[in-house]
């Protein structure tokens, strides 16, 4: 990706880039829709990465191009995108946040992007883009930023400027990931802990795409906020839905009408599953951890209603074939299912999922093998 991005920069702008960085996509092992509810998540970074190379501009504008379409766009990043600019809104949001943080790029910037993180597949292509952009532009400006600072800038770019009501998970794992580890993130406090993860994952791309900035994700977040407001009548100090005591689940059910009840029950249960899952991984108990993945998917399907028929089919087929665990990943409503396998059964499970999907939908889904990889890094542009 580094070579492709640099070549595109030279072709488009007639000069070599001056700085570069890359950041990974991610898959969340467990902890679905807990991040923006103040709960824990347990993602790993993927080998697929987005590379951003950058150079100075003299137009005062943000000039961007991607290998995806090769079209040059010039953006006045100081303006409000008002739902426009496409993927350029993410890059513009990062530049606005950097300027607000005192990073000086008075002439604007030129940016070229290359990526092998699938878009809309629930693997956080947007966070890979914003984190890599923040690192590349900070490097261009010769301003050292910590990984946590980069994660914060990338989060605010997507949340405040693009308008996606995301949590902090995607940007945090893209910035802080360590090879061979999952990252337990307590989203209310932003505390993190590296958890050894030696598991082998199959990522099954259903081909069903979703747009996050509008629609179901934002509706679910609104429902969770409404649930917290009602539950504060029972527990005034409650700040986050994930902080509701699991032992008081009956009280929660009595206090909330549907669909708020189901949304809240999922969040409280998923919070407990995620923390227990981190303990199991730390002890190397992949089989027990895999069972939690199945439980998580069922909760997402039945209570949070964020699955899709294609995802349900993949999980069911993987379970029949002997997978350790499987679940949807990403926000849901399409995208990618993850399947936890041991090496001996990998080929059999892969074939079984492909057959089942082909019977139902007339096509075989792309399936890739993934291991836990590292986070954002500088890239040579020579």
Q: Please identify every residue annotated as catalytic.
A: 170
* Dihedral over alpha carbons 93, 96, 100, 103 (to 10 degrees): 110
Residue 16 phi, psi dihedral angles, 5° rounding: -85, 150
Helices within 256-370 (DSSP H only) = 260-282, 286-299, 309-320, 346-361
Give the end-to-end CA distance of the chain in Å, rounded to a whole number.
13
Q: Cβ neighbours of residue 232 under 8 Å, at least 6 residues apart? A: 238
- Encoded tokens for 208: 């069903």
Residue 325 in contact with residue 280, Cβ under 8 Å? Answer: no
Residue 223: alpha-carbon gap to chain centroid: 21
Residue 38 in contact with residue 15, Cβ under 8 Å? Answer: no
Residue 238: asked if its preceding bond is cis (omega within 30°), the reply is no
What SS3 state is found at 47? strand
- Cα distance between residue 176 and residue 182, in whole Å: 10
- Cα distance between residue 178 and residue 182, in whole Å: 8
Helices within 111-166 (DSSP H only) = 125-140, 147-156
Neighbours of 211 (CB within 10 A): 11
Q: What is the DSSP string of 180-240?
A: TEEEEEETTTTEEEEEE---EEEEEE------SSSSHHHHHHHHHHHHHHHHTTT-TT---
């Amino acid at each position: 990706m580094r070579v492709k991005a640099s070549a595109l920069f030279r072709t488009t702008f007639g000069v070599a880039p001056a700085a570069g960085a890359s950041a990974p996509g991610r898959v969340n092992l467990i902890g679905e829709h807990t991040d923006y509810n103040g709960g824990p998540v347990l993602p790993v970074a993927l080998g697929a990465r987005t590379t951003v190379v950058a150079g100075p501009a003299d137009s005062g504008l943000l000039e961007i191009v991607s290998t995806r379409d090769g079209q040059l766009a010039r953006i006045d990043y100081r303006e409000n995108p008002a739902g426009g600019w496409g993927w350029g809104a993410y890059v513009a949001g990062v530049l606005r946040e950097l300027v607000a943080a005192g990073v000086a790029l008075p002439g604007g910037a030129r940016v070229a992007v290359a990526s092998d993180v699938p878009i809309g597949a629930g693997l956080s292509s947007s966070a890979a883009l914003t984190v890599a952009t923040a690192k590349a532009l900070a490097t261009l400006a010769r301003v050292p930023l910590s990984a946590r600072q980069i994660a914060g800038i990338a989060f605010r770019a997507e949340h405040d400027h693009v308008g996606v009501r995301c949590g902090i998970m995607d940007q945090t794992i893209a910035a802080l990931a360590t090879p061979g580890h999952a990252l337990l993130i307590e989203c209310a406090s932003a505390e993190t802990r590296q958890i050894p993860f030696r598991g082998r994952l199959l990522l099954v791309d259903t081909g069903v795409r979703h747009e996050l900035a509008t629609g179901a994700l934002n509706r679910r977040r609104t429902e969770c906020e409404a649930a917290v407001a009602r539950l504060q009548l029972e527990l005034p100090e409650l700040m986050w839905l994930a902080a509701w005591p699991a032992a008081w689940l009956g009280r929660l059910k009595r206090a909330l009408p549907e669909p708020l009840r189901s949304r809240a029950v999922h969040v409280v249960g998923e919070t407990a599953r995620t923390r227990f899952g981190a303990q199991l991984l730390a002890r190397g108990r992949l089989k027990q951890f895999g069972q939690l993945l199945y439980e998580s998917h069922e909760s997402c399907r039945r209570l949070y209603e964020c699955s899709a028929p294609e995802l349900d089919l993949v999980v069911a087929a993987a379970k029949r074939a002997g997978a350790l665990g499987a679940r949807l990943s990403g926000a849901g409503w399409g995208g990618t299912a993850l399947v936890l396998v041991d090496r001996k059964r990998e080929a059999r499970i892969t074939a079984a999922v492909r057959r089942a999907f082909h019977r139902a939908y007339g096509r075989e889904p792309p399936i890739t093998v993934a291991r836990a990889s590292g986070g954002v890094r500088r890239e040579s542009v020579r």
